Structure 1
Amino acid sequence: MRLHAADTLGGHGDGWNEETASAYAAAFARIVTSEDHMLFVAEAGGDVIGTFQVSLVPCLTARGATRARLEAVQVRADRRSGGVGAAMVLFAEAWARERGAAFVELTSNVARTDAHRFYARLGYAQSHLGFKKSL
């Protein structure tokens, strides 16, 4: 959570503290008990330097294909531009492919222009306009 808490550009106000710990622990428990959701970390020297989540979602469209949704991709600021993010995305793609996913989708905050260039370099195309509503 420290990686996400340090994200000031497109962050969600994340931060591990007494008030939020139980919500994060509950989310983690839901993720780790599902075969369709995985949370991964990248480590170097015992330190977490990156994280991402992949979820498998069956589609009624696309001929019933399974899609992989890549979320919460975060690389520690001092380790960016060193190949960590690309390695994480390639790992996510391989994991999804092994589980029958036909494609990977992701969203990126509109303010993350560096991330948009990063994903484009990895072969991702901007294909949809996203919407979000708080409940």
Structure 2
Amino acid sequence: MPCRFINISNDLKAITKLIQKELGYGAMNEEDVLIQLKAMEKSDQYQSIVFEKDGEVLGFAGLAYLYAYETKGQYARLIALAVREDKQHTGIGSSLLAYAQTCAKAHAASDIAISSGLCRQQAHTFYEQKGYKKKGYTFTKQL
């Protein structure tokens, strides 16, 4: 399977590009992403995954494990999923999602949740085709 856990030193550039271009967070530079990835690496509550083919990272996904009042045990939250634009619609997103779900099950998560921006209609269709249901809205406020 071409999905694997990240190697920060090898994958940082590719993940940063995906975060900037595909997720639209252009203000995040390599140093910012490195800080975040190193902080996540210290906790077993996070898993970062890449899809690699012929030594090239073409997509990545990130999971966080959390507790909630409405679930038994932990649930998994897919906090990122991005595929390089020229490789979208080739099965990479499906592979990443399937691998993330496998990781979540192995982590004994009871559910998996995803937030997706309102403008990402293609992503919404993708998740619905994979069996995900709309549950509500995510609200954010910068502090």
Alignment TM-score, normalising by the size of structure 2:
0.84
Partner residue, 1:47: 56
Question: How many residues are matched?
Answer: 128
1:50 and 1:41 map into 2 onto residues whose CA distance is 6
1:59 and 1:84 map into 2 onto residues whose CA distance is 30
Q: Which amino acid aligns with 1:92?
A: A
Partner residue, 1:16: 29
2:110 counterpart SS class: strand
Identity fraction in percent:
25
Partner residue, 1:90: 98
Q: Which amino acid aligns with 1:12?
A: Y
CA contact (8 A) 1:50 1:84 kept: yes
Shift of 1:15: 4.2
1:3 and 1:47 map into 2 onto residues whose CA distance is 12
Q: Which amino acid aligns with 1:55?
A: A
- 1:14-51 per-residue CA deviation (whole Å, 9 max, x = no partner) reads 4435xxx1x32221111111111011111011111001
CA contact (8 A) 1:40 1:52 kept: yes
1:131 and 1:26 map into 2 onto residues whose CA distance is 25
Alignment TM-score, normalising by the size of structure 1:
0.88
1:82 and 1:51 map into 2 onto residues whose CA distance is 14
1:37 equivalent to 2:46? Answer: yes
Q: 1:59 aligns with which of 55, 68, 82?
A: 68
- 1:93-127 per-residue CA deviation (whole Å, 9 max, x = no partner) reads 11001111010001001000000000000000001
1:15 and 1:2 map into 2 onto residues whose CA distance is 9
Q: Which amino acid aligns with 1:5?
A: Q
Moved over 3 A (4+): none
1:4 equivalent to 2:12? Answer: no
CA contact (8 A) 1:4 1:14 kept: no
2:58 and 2:108 map into 1 onto residues whose CA distance is 28
2:41 and 2:87 map into 1 onto residues whose CA distance is 26
Aligned alpha-carbon RMSD (Å): 1.4
**Alignment gaps of 5+ in structure 1:** none
